[in-house]
Amino acid sequence: MPLVTADNLVKKYDELTAVDGVSFTIDEGQIFGFLGPNGAGKSTTISMLSTYLPPSSGDAVIDGLSVTHQAEKVRNIIGVVPQDIALYPTLTALQNLKFYGKMYDMGGENLDKRCQELLELVELWDRRDSRVEQFSGGMKRRINMAAGLLHHPRFLLLDEPTVGVDPQSREHIFETIFKIRDSGTTILYTSHYMEEVETLCDYIAIMDKGKMVASGTLHELLSVLGEGGVIELKIAPPGCHAGLEEAIAGQNGVTSINHQDGKLLISSKNSAHSLPPVLKVLEDTGCTVDHLEIYTPNLEKLFIHLTGKELRE
């Protein structure tokens, strides 16, 4: 059952459309991933869902509450972990958490207990009285995440929570996210690292230039490229044979053919089996191969396939 439903969300700044009609649903208990390059509109979408920015049009409903009309109530059930380290550097880890807890009317023993739980969750309980400014980047990220969880939010929005952290801290953050998911919290996770989204997310939406260009489970998304891999060919001379593509498409296991940057991307059920007949077709038609690559489908390749550019551009 969906906890979150976004319906045609649009955010415009004068001439610029940062988010252009994005719609999706997030099921309860799911980790929903937003993947896209910087500037794709991921953070703006999170800002609208978190009530930080009002949508120019469209709406989103979280647990039955509209972000445009019931923002105050929405704020009580969501937790936000912003991309910035939104902490007070001269205060200690515990002082930061207590302050943010009090913003949600928490106090007394409940707040003390919750702070301890979260500091133990992010494994910083023994550093609770250290100033945040003395922490490493990874430790700050973990406290930043804990601050968004104090009030037991039903829906947690994580905006690129691993930016600038070392691999060890990243692993630690991943473990924490799984623990949060296991406690029943629904999570929206944005990243421009495909490995993170592949590892963490149950459902993935790919964004580019303010639009959602694809969505589905990892398996569903990668099947677009062919379950058995992709044969990438650069052929000389270009257009060497008019009926080449039709001839390749008719070979055993080939599921689709696409063009990208002068290359042919041949998806198949089993690229190892499909390769010999494809090469035979090329030989028969008098074409030569300048470049040949066989790869297993991944989100990076899918993004290139969908947008014609690399994810990190």
Piece of 88-96, 207-215, 259-267, 282-290 that binds another protein (CB under 8 A): 88-96
Sequence-ordered list of residues with C-beta below 8 angstroms from that of 29, at least 6 positions apart, any chain: 181, 184, 185, 186
Cα 85 to Cα 176, 179, 180, 210: the distances in Å are 17, 21, 19, 25
Chain positions 133 to 152 lying near another protein, rule: CB under 8 A, are 147
Q: Which helix (H) or strand (E) holds 167?
A: helix 167-182
Q: Is 192 in the site for another protein (CB under 8 A)?
A: no
Site string for another protein, 96-135 (x = CB under 8 A): ---xx-xxxx------------------------------
Q: Please select the residue that binds another protein; options are 10, 12, 63, 85, rule is CB under 8 A.
A: 85
Q: Which is nearer to another protein, 72 or 109 (CB)?
A: 72
Q: Considering the complex, what minimum distance in angstroms separates the CB of residue 168 from another protein?
A: 24
Instruction: Give the separation between CA 47 and CA 78, rounded to whole angstroms.
Output: 12
Q: What is the CB neighbour count within 10 angstroms for residue 162?
A: 22
DSSP state of 194: H
In whole angstroms, give the CA distance from residue 255 to residue 245: 12
Which one of the spans 89-97, 191-199, 241-249, 279-287 is the region binding another protein (CB under 8 A)?
Answer: 89-97
- Scan residues 226-245 and list those touching another protein (CB under 8 A): none
The footprint of another protein (CB under 8 A) covers 50-53, 72, 75-76, 78, 80, 82-88, 90-91, 95, 99-100, 102-105, 147
